Amino acid sequence: MEKEEKKGCKLLPVPCPFQGHINPMLQLGSVLHSKGFSITIIHARFNSPNPSVHPAFNFISKPDIFLEQQISPGNMVDLVLLLNAKCQEPFKKLLAQTINHQDCSHPQIACIIYDEAMYFTPIVASHFKPPNSVLHDLVPEHYPLRFKDLPFMKPGSEEQTSQLMPNLSNTERSSATVFNTMDCLEQSSLAIIQHQKQHTIFPIDPMHKLAPESTSSLLEEDTSCIAWLDKRAQNSVMYISLGSIASMDAKEVEEMAWGLANSKQPFLWVIRSSQKIASEWMEPFTKNFKFSVRERGCIVRWAPQKQVLAHDVVGGFWTHCGWNSTLESICEGVPMICRPCFGDQNVTARYVSQVWKVGWQYENELERGEIEKIVLRLMVEEEGKEMRKRSRDLKHMAEASINSDGPSSNSLNELVEFIMSS
Ligand code: UDP
């Protein structure tokens, strides 16, 4: 199918308005745009992506209700339930208007692509014509998971979680599923899903490597850390980031800081400004800490993470195992220290450490001596070198999946054909 022929087809991606969900959806939009589709992003006003960074897309903002609330691990489930309850009617109106506008000068809607957390979308879409797909992460096999790794949310949210979960895993309402994963990571789980669900699936990843370079960052990236990285030695820097929602409390920050300082290894640490760390406590601590680490440490509020991980001085990633961060690390061959916080991060950490063996999980309370030990194990010791070698091997497998005849590229072409033939 030639690129020109698809010009008349419009896709409506509906991202969930959290950073870790916006990124892969916009990347998928970019990939499909490069295949010739017209892209109109239906998004929340809350955490809205910046349209000027994506001039090729159209954006339609949809009213929602939690504009002022801070997202935290503790209220994620409530926010998702609220979002789905309140967005259904406005989305229905919006879709009706969009469909009524279709004529020769407005492209036909070929497909709605929604995040699994935006499960109100297929309910609304069923009133209209367009086929739809769903983008979400993979439900793994039970091995190597333990009960404590299962993706429950925080204690106390069991009732809400049990309300949410059946909706997330409901693929009945969609005509196909785009999985944000690749064969070399989860081949056997993909085969089981394909077999059990009798549902068309498209595993397509690493999406950020397939998509033309652009950023969907909601926070301003502090690029000054790249100049700092430029002055370090190869594989010498430990990068620490917990993504956009997870955080450490003040005591954990203190233990982390001294563990890093005592390891004597260079580090780049992202501490978001939204993290609640008492400033009166931080003041004397940061003074001593700065004196101790001097030029060896760099702290930023938000980093250009993909660029950081691709820098050849970065030799390790202390991560909360958000799915995007994990994939970005795998794609650059950077071994990980996993410290999951909530939800599917526990599952991912187990896969990183037990199946792909490109990281270790730090399971105990954060304590400076333990932190120093595990940082040195990864950055200096022989075991760390072996881990880095395995990470490089996995990186090459991820690269192969997007070669012109690689599984992800084939899956993408099949998705394009599927949309066009629906
Ligand atoms: N990220 C970033 N700069 C930072 C920290 C994170 O650009 O300083 C990006 C990171 O590259 C990833 C996303 O934010 O694409 C976080 O998504 P992830 O799934 O890892 O975690 P979440 O934020 O959903 O917990």
Per-residue pLDDT tens digits for 173-187: 888 999 999 999 998
* Mean model confidence pLDDT for the chain: 87
243 lines ligand 1 (CB under 6 A): yes
- Which residue's alpha carbon is nearest to atom 14 within ligand 1? 243
Position 282 scores a pLDDT of 61
Q: Please report, for residues 39, 134, 183, 196, the alpha-carbon distance to residue 13 in angstroms, rounded to integers and kept in the order given.
A: 7, 9, 24, 27
For residue 415, pLDDT over 90 is answered with yes
325 lines ligand 1 (CB under 6 A): yes
List the domains of the chain with CATH numbers.
2-206+404-421 (3.40.50.2000), 224-399 (3.40.50.2000)
107 lines ligand 1 (CB under 6 A): no
Tokens coding 345: 């991060």
In what helix (H) or strand (E) does residue 76 lie, and over which residues does it extend?
helix 76-100
Position 15 scores a pLDDT of 93
CB 183 within 8 A of CB 190: yes
* CA gap 373, 395 in Å, rounded: 26
User: What is the spatial order of strands in the sheet that 9-14 belongs to?
Assistant: 58-62, 38-44, 9-14, 108-115, 132-136, 176-179, 200-203
* CA gap 355, 266 in Å, rounded: 29
Phi, psi values for residue 180, rounded to 5°: -85, 65
Point out the ligand 1 atom lying closest to the alpha carbon of residue 328. Answer: 11
Tokens coding 218: 């909601």
Point out the ligand 1 atom lying closest to the alpha carbon of residue 18. Answer: 24
Point out the ligand 1 atom lying closest to the alpha carbon of residue 300. Answer: 8
Model pLDDT for residues 198-251, shown as the tens digit of each residue: 778 999 999 999 987 778 899 999 999 999 999 999 999 999 999 999 999 888
Pocket test for ligand 1, best of 267, 305, 311 (most atoms within 8 A of CB): 305
27 lines ligand 1 (CB under 6 A): no
When pLDDT is cut at 50, 70 and 90, the band that residue 102 belongs to is low
Interval 32-38 mean pLDDT: 94
Q: How far is the CA of 288 from the centre of ligand 1 (A)?
A: 29
Position 1 scores a pLDDT of 46
Pocket test for ligand 1, best of 19, 247, 328 (most atoms within 8 A of CB): 19
- Which residue's alpha carbon is nearest to atom 15 within ligand 1? 324
When pLDDT is cut at 50, 70 and 90, the band that residue 96 belongs to is confident
Q: How far is the CA of 224 from the centre of ligand 1 (A)?
A: 18
208 lines ligand 1 (CB under 6 A): no
Q: How far is the CA of 322 from the centre of ligand 1 (A)?
A: 7
When pLDDT is cut at 50, 70 and 90, the band that residue 69 belongs to is low
- Which residue's alpha carbon is nearest to atom 11 within ligand 1? 305
Model pLDDT for residues 83-94, shown as the tens digit of each residue: 888 888 888 888
332 lines ligand 1 (CB under 6 A): no
CB 239 within 8 A of CB 349: no
Interval 331-354 mean pLDDT: 95
CA 82 to chain centre: 22
270 lines ligand 1 (CB under 6 A): yes
Q: Higher pLDDT residue, 203 or 4?
A: 203
Q: What angle do CA 20, 21, 22 make, to 5 degrees?
A: 100
* CA gap 358, 371 in Å, rounded: 18
Interval 187-196 mean pLDDT: 84
Q: How far is the CA of 128 from the centre of ligand 1 (A)?
A: 35
348 lines ligand 1 (CB under 6 A): no
Q: Higher pLDDT residue, 348 or 131?
A: 348
112 lines ligand 1 (CB under 6 A): no
Q: How far is the CA of 325 from the centre of ligand 1 (A)?
A: 6
- Which residue's alpha carbon is nearest to atom 21 within ligand 1? 322
* CA gap 83, 45 in Å, rounded: 12
Point out the ligand 1 atom lying closest to the alpha carbon of residue 301. Answer: 8
pTM metric for this prediction:
0.91
- Which residue's alpha carbon is nearest to atom 6 within ligand 1? 243
Report the range of poorest mean pLDDT among 2-16, 177-191, 251-265, 291-305. 2-16
> Over pLDDT 90: what percentage of the chain?
56
In what helix (H) or strand (E) does residue 314 lie, and over which residues does it extend?
strand 314-319
Point out the ligand 1 atom lying closest to the alpha carbon of residue 319. Answer: 20
Model pLDDT for residues 302-333, shown as the tens digit of each residue: 999 999 999 999 999 999 999 999 999 999 99
